[in-house]
Amino acid sequence: MERRKFIKSAALGTGAITLAHTYSFASNTTKKVKIGFIGVGGRGQGLLNEILTLDWVEVPAICDINPNALAASQEIFKKHGRQKPSEYGIDELDYKRLVERDDLDAVIIATYWQWHTPMAVDAMKAGKYVGVEVPAALTVDECWQLVDTSEETGMPCMMMENWSFRQDNLAVLNMIRAGMYGDIVHCHCAHSHDCIDHWFFDKETGKDKWPAEFLVKYNRDQYPTHSLGPVLSWMDIPCGDTFDHITSMATDSKGINTMFTERFGKDHPSARRKYAQGDIVTSMIRTKMGKSIIVNYDMQLPRPYDNEWKIQGTLGIYNEQRTSLYLKNRSPEYHQWEAFAPYQDKYNHNFWKSNYQGEGHGGVDLIELGYFAEAVRDKIQTPIDVYESVLMSCVVALSGDSIAKGSQPVEIPDFTRGKWKTIKPSFAI
Ligand SMILES: NC(=O)c1ccc[n+]([C@@H]2O[C@H](COP(=O)([O-])OP(=O)(O)OC[C@H]3O[C@@H](n4cnc5c(N)ncnc54)[C@H](O)[C@@H]3O)[C@@H](O)[C@H]2O)c1
């Protein structure tokens, strides 16, 4: 495949991180990349299954406190004809031995949420690139820990936000960058995914799985990054604009109790338990340059999956639910929707013409992993950087703060310390 190089000089000028984004659109390389995995449960195994298709990526070590997860992962290595990796996981801190290995270039973290930041910080301190699952951080203090450690060590930290790499979202990004929607003034996004019947609680027994405790203790947008990921690139955040403040509102919590009552009876302890988490959380974010974003959390009511992306600009509108758009200077009929599909073909992003043709999440996972691994290989900035990672993640904590204060606006810290005014857009350039 022809090797095409797009080099965007995106020196961030912040701390030690002055690496440029570079995309090669090819995996013809003899240089190997060595990546360790921490957390090889459902998501970790999914990522392993994709990344092991890249012959220039090796995974010499895996870590998990659950022996069953380690055993199931070994089967994935066998399936791909790969060498057996070393295993870690004698206790919750054993990952530290993995990140200290001097043969690793990077680690990918797919553990429980509360471990993401501590593991990412330790890995960066050990000189490793970090790819960390969503959300990267649970508190504002953790967000700062990631930024400070990344700046101090010079090690990039990418939250693995796969929806930023979706084919439709990237085609829309190309159209925005071609000026077709004019100035973007507003976006709507949602994570509408009923997860209480399989992910928060066990499908068969109803027993708590590890994320259930977050629904008992907290009332906030627990999962804002899949919805916000593409919005950041559509709105040039934090590269020309950034978040200013957030106002959030939650409904009462009814969905979880109803699900348990219906499936296990009204006397089941989980049917009678009180959950802090409201069913629907709606957050409004105002940006410093006067734009707005609506972010919906919707994971506890029965419904098909949806992201409800909508973009409004001075020259047009895109509506993902309708798979339609309207462009003032282009659409054939005045104020009538037209189909998005031909535009997706025409503005298809180069990421989707690459060698990274995988299966996970409709193909996005291998594209995300491929470009992460290329960044590690070429010692350049990761496709999603630490500032983008924490801006998406901070909505977890700050939506909770706003809800607790009766929906009062809460300031969103400027994690770039003013650099958002000069950083140039570089995601998927
Ligand atoms: N991007 C996506 O599309 C996507 C999809 C699903 C899950 N996720 C994210 O992936 C992460 C994992 O979710 P999951 O569904 O795979 O959960 P899971 O329970 O299936 O896997 C988590 C694994 O982490 C291990 N673990 C926990 N603490 C550990 C520690 N201290 N040391 C070593 N191993 C540890 C557990 O034993 C478990 O095997 C979560 O952060 C979740 O939000 C992302």
Residue 75 within a domain: yes
User: Are 136 and 168 in the same domain?
Assistant: no
Q: Are residues 127 and 200 in the same domain?
A: no
Tens of pLDDT, residues 211-230: 999 999 999 999 999 999 99
Q: What is the mean pLDDT of residues 323-348?
A: 98
Same domain, 129 and 190: no
Rg (CA), the chain: 21
Q: Looking at the structure, tell me whether residues 216 and 329 fall in a common domain.
A: yes
Mean pLDDT of 93-112: 98
Residues 168 and 157 in one domain: no
**pLDDT of 267 over the 70 cut:** yes
- Which atom of ligand 1 sits closest to the CA of residue 116? 41
238 pLDDT above the threshold of 70: yes
pLDDT at 178: 98
CB atoms within 10 A of CB 78: 10
Q: Which of 161, 188, 206 is the last residue of a domain?
A: 161
Q: Is residue 364 part of a domain?
A: no
Give the residue from 161, 186, 217 where a domain finishes. 161
Place of tokens 């003013």: 418
pLDDT tens profile 13-68: 334 444 544 444 444 566 899 999 999 999 999 999 999 999 999 999 999 999 99
Residue 113 inside a domain? The answer is yes
* CA of residue 136 relative to chain centroid, distance: 8
When pLDDT is cut at 50, 70 and 90, the band that residue 8 belongs to is very low
| CA distance linking residue 337 with residue 242, whole number of Å | 30
Tokens describing residue 68 = 């069953």
Q: Are strands 61-63 and 86-88 parallel, antiparallel or unpaired?
A: parallel
CATH code of 29's domain: 3.40.50.720
Examine residue 103 and state whether it is found in any structural domain, yes or no. Answer: yes
What CATH number should be reported for the domain holding residue 193? 3.30.360.10
Claim to verify: residue 399 and residue 290 sit in the same structural domain: yes
Kindly state whether residues 95 and 222 are assigned to the same domain.
no
Give me 44's structure tokens.
Answer: 């970790």
Pocket test for ligand 1, best of 96, 111, 165, 365 (most atoms within 8 A of CB): 111
- Domain membership flag for residue 240: yes
> Which ligand 1 atom sits closest to the C-alpha of 95?
32
Residue 129, beta-bridge partner list? 106
Rounded distance between C-alpha atoms, residue 104 and residue 99, angstroms: 8
Percent of the chain with pLDDT over 90: 93
Residues 108, 368: contact at Cβ < 8 Å? no
Q: What are phi and psi of 215, to 5 degrees?
A: -75, -30
Last residue of a domain, one of 161, 192, 215: 161
pLDDT over 70 at 10, yes or no: no
Sheet strand arrangement including 243-250: 338-339, 324-327, 316-319, 310-313, 184-192, 292-298, 280-287, 243-250, 410-411
Is residue 331 over pLDDT 60? yes
**What's the pTM value of the predicted model, to 2 decimals?**
0.94
Pairing verdict, β 6-8 and 21-23 = antiparallel
The token pair that represents 250 in the structure block: 């939650």
- 3-class secondary structure, 59: coil
Rounded distance, CA 230 to CA 226, Å?
Answer: 8
Alpha-carbon span 355 to 1, nearest angstrom: 8
On whether the CB atoms of residues 409 and 246 are closer than 8 A, the answer is: yes
pLDDT band of residue 135 (cuts 50, 70, 90) is: very high
In this structure, is residue 312 part of a structural domain? yes
Cβ atoms of 181 and 315 closer than 8 Å: yes
CB count, 10 Å around CB of 242? 25
Helices (H), 266-423: 269-272, 341-346, 364-378, 386-404
CA of 201 to the centre of ligand 1 (A): 14
Q: Which residues line ligand 1 (CB under 6 A)?
A: 38-39, 41-44, 63-66, 69, 89, 92, 95, 110-113, 115, 133-134, 160, 162, 210, 361
Q: Is the pLDDT of residue 150 over 70?
A: yes
Encode pLDDT of 363-374 as tens digits. Answer: 999 999 999 999
318 inside domain: yes
Q: Round to whole Å and give the CA distance between 176 and 385.
A: 21
Mean per-residue pLDDT, 3-22: 38
Domain that holds residue 399: 164-349+386-421
| Cα 47 to ligand 1 centre (Å) | 11
Distance of CA 286 to the CA centre of its chain: 21
Q: Which two structure tokens, joined as six digits, stand for 32?
A: 């190997």
Q: Where are the beta strands (DSSP E) in 266-329?
A: 280-287, 292-298, 310-313, 316-319, 324-327
Residues 101 and 172 in one domain: no
Residue type for position 314:
T
DSSP SS3 for 148: helix
Confidence of residue 131 (pLDDT cuts 50, 70, 90): very high
Sequence-separated (6 or more) residues with CB below 8 Å from residue 317: 181, 310, 311, 325, 326
Give residue 33's identity as a one-letter amino acid code.
V
Round the average pLDDT of the chain to a whole number and report it.
Answer: 94
- % pLDDT > 70, the chain: 93
pLDDT score at 29: 60
Strand duo 33-38 + 57-58: pairing: parallel
- Atom 30 of ligand 1 has which residue's CA nearest to it? 92
| Residue closest by Cα to atom 8 of ligand 1 | 43
Instruction: Indicate the length of the chain as a whole number.
Output: 429
Same domain, 190 and 130: no
Q: How far is CA 8 from CA 1, 11, 410, 425, in A?
A: 21, 9, 34, 9
Instruction: Examine the domain organization and report whether 224 and 299 are in the same domain.
Output: yes
Domain assignment present for residue 369? The answer is no
Which atom of ligand 1 lies closest to the CA of 226? 1
Q: Are residues 170 and 278 in the same domain?
A: yes
Determine what percent of the chain falls in helix, strand and coil, rounding each to the nearest 5: 35, 20, 45
Q: Could you give the CA distance from residue 378 to residue 58 in angstroms, rounded to a whole number?
A: 15
Q: How far is the CA of 116 from the centre of ligand 1 (A)?
A: 9
Above 70 in pLDDT, residue 5? no
Residue 159 neighbours by CB distance under 10 Å: 30
Atom 39 (ligand 1) nearest CA: 41
Number of domains in the chain: 2
219 and 342 within one domain: yes
Q: If we measure between CA atoms, which residue out of 311, 277, 274, 318 comes closest to residue 294?
A: 311
| Res 122 pLDDT > 60 | yes
